Amino acid sequence: MREKNKIKRKYKLRDYEAFLWILPGIVLLLIFSYYPPISAFFYSLTDWNANRANFIGLQNFKELLTDQIFWNALKTSIFLTVVGILVGNIATIFLAELLFNLKRKKASSTYRFLFVLPCLVPGIVTMLLWNKIIFAVNETGLANAILMKIGLIDNPLTWYAGDKTVLLSLILTNFPWVAGTSFLIYLAGLQGIPESIIEAAELDGITILKRIRYIDFAYIRGQIKYFLILGFIGGLQNYSMQLLFTKGGPFYKSMVPGYYIYWQAFNNTRFGYACACGVVMFVIIFSVTIFTNKMKSSEEVM
């Protein structure tokens, strides 16, 4: 009996030790990941401006319902997100297909390394290169110099500063729209296709386009859904280029909800209203996530 009790105490001590090891991580997670969004629900019901936080009920949400800047920003964000997802996934799948169909394996490994190498460069550096060199608003900008040289334009375009060119500029800044991680995942999915299936299809005289449509897409369908969901959620949250280049302008043309929340909080010191905007965005993104997960689970059952 004594030996059994000793063994039990020993296992209990091990359990406590394991809990103590993960305790710092749990505390940090609660403080920095769970407390801010939970507190945002409370502050969204106040007129918090960093000095005071008086309870005003649903007044912020009533104002938000008629806030055209916010709802136009949401439309802009959805547009940029949808275009980014479509262009990004098409370009990445196209590149993965090119390497998958490359017969020389040594050359395929070299190209794979070269395409993933740019991932070492921080995204912020790439965006600054576009802003300072390619999309500079005068004749020294590379884009303006090329377009003027071939005669497509007579005067330099203002790119990020123009209300008609700002959205196009934001989309082009992500060129060539190929992310290293998604490229490798798509390529791994294609390489997982059994050789016997490809050989049987080739014996039946299938063309490359039909093989891509009926075989390749079937094997990477899960990856496509994953990147579509992740891209949509991430796109609605993203406001890095607005923060760096456009500040939501000109005339709110490039405003997105993420930057609008930042602008209301730190430019107008309306932290309560910014929290209300954040709560609405949380509900929208959470609803999209639940809807897509239900669709995915229903398809798996079928």
Q: Evaluate whether residue 242 is within a structural domain.
A: yes
pLDDT of residue 7: 54
- CA–CA dist 281, 265 (Å, integer): 15
Query: Is residue 125 scored above 90 in pLDDT?
Result: no
The pLDDT score that the predictor gives to residue 131 is: 81
Q: Are residues 66 and 28 in the same domain?
A: no
Q: Tell me the percentage of the chain whose pLDDT exceeds 90.
A: 42
Count up the domains in the chain and report the number: 2
By CB atoms closer than 10 A (0-12, 13-18, 19+), residue 176 is exposed
Is 80 exceeded by the pLDDT of residue 90?
yes
Same domain, 89 and 238: yes
Q: Is the pLDDT score of 251 beyond 60? A: yes
- Look up tokens 């430019």; give the residue: 267
Mean of the pLDDT values across residues 116-143? 78
66-80 pLDDT, tens digit each: 999 999 999 999 999
Tens-digit pLDDT profile for residues 171-182: 988 777 777 788
Q: Span 58-70, mean pLDDT?
A: 96
Say if residue 148 is in the same domain as residue 9.
Answer: no
Same domain, yes or no: 216 and 261: yes
Query: In the predicted model, what is the mean pLDDT of the chain?
Result: 86
Number of Cβ atoms within 10 Å of the Cβ of 296: 14
**Res 13: pLDDT:** 59
Q: What is the pTM of this model?
A: 0.86
Domain that holds residue 79: 59-301
